[in-house]
Amino acid sequence: MHITLRHLRIFEAVAQHSSISRAAAELHLTQPAVSMQMKQLEEQIGIALVEQIGKRLYLTEAGQELRGHARRISAQMTDLNAAMDQFRGLERGLLRLAVVSTANYFIPQLLGGFGERHPGVRVSLQVANREAVLGALADNRTELAITGQPPDSVDVIAQHFKNNPLVVIAAPTHPLAQLDAVSLQQLDQELMVVREAGSGTRAAMDRHFADHGIEYRAGCEMGTNEAVKQAVQAGLGLAVVSLQTIELELETRRLAVLPVATFPILRHWYVVHRTNKRLSAAAQAFREMLLARNPEVAVNPTPRRAMVT
């Protein structure tokens, strides 16, 4: 067999997306080019790796076996690049970072400062919900992850570097926005605009209401913070969001923070990496920059670890 790294990279993208077209878009290739590479790979191995059912591709048993090997090879190549980056220092290199969508309100500014210090470092930034970000970390598709809740099922080191208070918001004309105090029980009569399943904010909200024995009424479910804010401004309900996402709306008085008892929910932002992962020089420098911003966290604090189960 003559299998190249290019074959494996394209195969992994197809396996991840279950689609030739989406894999081609991710890899910046044409669909015929991806199809041709997949055909060559199957010819080299001598067995089908994917099968199409409807519009979706599924891995055969052989394809599932190959994907496991492809992931391990990809991880080894990533470690090799990180090792070489150590020798090159920060004159060049790649910082692979995955962040939850809420963190994208402040991460670009931090990346701007990092880029000024290390202009030779390129940045690959993935923005998604918590589930997708942790999936990228588990699959070794990112070196560092930024999330408000570290994973429980992956062996990681997670260190907090910034507070992340969650608040209840409403349109300024909402009756509850005129009160000096609001009980949590009053919210059970209101429709709530919520994030999608897999969102860290949604999970924190669900836990908080459940801990206080309150059932909220879910109205609209939105996939982004911007959609949530627009829905609340339109009077479609209340919402729980990170305070860091509504600074502009508060200044322009398009949204109001409700004085709800038991709020804000005080959470933290964590920078997370795999325990046994060799970080590149760029990833180490960015991690240390984040931790240096928090006076309560040293560069090498006692980490929070979540072990493999």
What is the full DSSP assignment across 172-239?
A: TTSGGGG-S-B-GGGGGGSEEEEEPTT-HHHHHHHHHHHHTT---EEEEEESSHHHHHHHHHTTS-EE
> Taking 70 as the threshold, does the pLDDT of residue 62 lie above it?
yes
User: Which residue did the predictor score with more confidence, 77 or 126?
Assistant: 126
> Taking 60 as the threshold, does the pLDDT of residue 45 lie above it?
yes
Look at residue 158 and give its three-state secondary structure: strand
> Taking 90 as the threshold, does the pLDDT of residue 291 lie above it?
yes
Tell me how many degrees the CA angle 129-134-298 measures, rounded to the nearest 5.
Answer: 105
- The full length of the chain comes to 309
| pLDDT for the residue numbered 153 | 66
User: Which residue did the predictor score with more confidence, 258 or 199?
Assistant: 258
Please provide the average confidence, as pLDDT, over all residues in the chain: 87
> Taking 90 as the threshold, does the pLDDT of residue 155 lie above it?
no
> Taking 70 as the threshold, does the pLDDT of residue 304 lie above it?
no
> Taking 90 as the threshold, does the pLDDT of residue 120 lie above it?
no
Enumerate domains of the chain plus CATH numbers. 5-70 (1.10.10.10), 85-162+268-306 (3.40.190.10), 165-266 (3.40.190.10)
Q: pLDDT, tens digit, for every residue of 85-113?
A: 655 666 678 899 999 988 989 999 999 99
Report, as an integer, the average pLDDT of 255-261.
95
| pLDDT for the residue numbered 66 | 93
> Taking 90 as the threshold, does the pLDDT of residue 242 lie above it?
yes
User: Which residue did the predictor score with more confidence, 294 or 24?
Assistant: 24
Question: pTM score, two decimals?
Answer: 0.64
What percentage of the chain carries pLDDT values higher than 70? 91
Report, as an integer, the average pLDDT of 245-264.
94
Report, as an integer, the average pLDDT of 145-156.
84
Rounded CA separation 173/241 (Å): 18
> Taking 60 as the threshold, does the pLDDT of residue 298 lie above it?
no
The CA-based dihedral angle spanning residues 45, 48, 50, 53, taken in that order and rounded to the nearest 10 degrees = 170
> Taking 70 as the threshold, does the pLDDT of residue 176 lie above it?
yes
| pLDDT for the residue numbered 302 | 33
What is the full DSSP assignment across 95-117?
A: EEEEEEGGGGGTHHHHHHHHHHH
Of the pLDDT bands very low, low, confident and very high (cuts 50, 70, 90), residue 306 is very low
| pLDDT for the residue numbered 2 | 82
| pLDDT for the residue numbered 297 | 45
Of the pLDDT bands very low, low, confident and very high (cuts 50, 70, 90), residue 198 is confident
Rounded CA separation 182/205 (Å): 17
Of the pLDDT bands very low, low, confident and very high (cuts 50, 70, 90), residue 189 is confident
What is the full DSSP assignment across 20-70?
A: HHHHHHHHT--HHHHHHHHHHHHHHHTS--EEEETTEEEE-HHHHHHHHHH
Q: pLDDT, tens digit, for every residue of 8-24?
A: 999 999 998 899 999 99
CB 100 within 8 A of CB 196: no
